[in-house]
Amino acid sequence: PTIYVLNGPNLNLLGKRQPEIYGRETLEDVELLCRDVAPGYQIRLLQSNYEGQIVDWIHEAREDACGIVINPAALTHTSVAILDALNTFEGPVIEVHISQVHKRESFRHHSYVSLRADGVIAGLGIEGYAAATRRIVSLTQ
């Protein structure tokens, strides 16, 4: 089985971008963490700065993935298209935010994706991805 770990805009710069907020670890570190907690599963970690690309990957996940871990980044707060795409996916979806979004600007407090997510993690740093992946494993094995 395959778990998709989807990442939205600017997360390609994880480790370099505002490290005081997002830490110094990179998406490669995220991938290793996810692999570690899901033996026997394939991890497909993807990142795009484009909303439509993320929608397309969610459509691929319909055929290919048993669950989705998603950090939609800024699209969390704006994207009905990502919410609608996730609503076509039948497996578990866990939403991850590296930072504690509820402690930040009020525009980060609302998430369209939370209307679909089976779990939401915020403020655990990149460990949130491991927790989310572990949850997908326990819901699907």
Residues near ligand DQA (CB under 6 A)? 10, 71, 73-74, 76, 97-99, 101, 108
Chain CA centroid to CA 5, Å:
5
Q: Which is nearer to ligand DQA, 18 or 42 (CB)?
A: 18
State the nearest-atom distance from the C-beta of 53 to ligand DQA, in Å.
16
Count of CB atoms within 10 A of residue 11's CB?
Answer: 22
112 is an active site residue? no
Residue 38 CB partners (closer than 8 Å, separation 6+): 3, 133, 134, 136, 137
State the nearest-atom distance from the C-beta of 73 to ligand DQA, in Å.
3
What residues form DSSP beta bridges with 5?
Answer: 45, 69
Q: Which is nearer to ligand DQA, 3 or 98 (CB)?
A: 98
Which is catalytic among the residues 4, 41, 97, 112?
97
State the nearest-atom distance from the C-beta of 44 to ligand DQA, in Å.
19
110 is an active site residue? no
Q: Which is nearer to ligand DQA, 99 or 140 (CB)?
A: 99
Count Cβ neighbours within 10 Å for each residue of 61-78 and write b for 16 or more, e otherwise: beeebbbbbbbbbebbbe
Catalytic residues: 22, 97
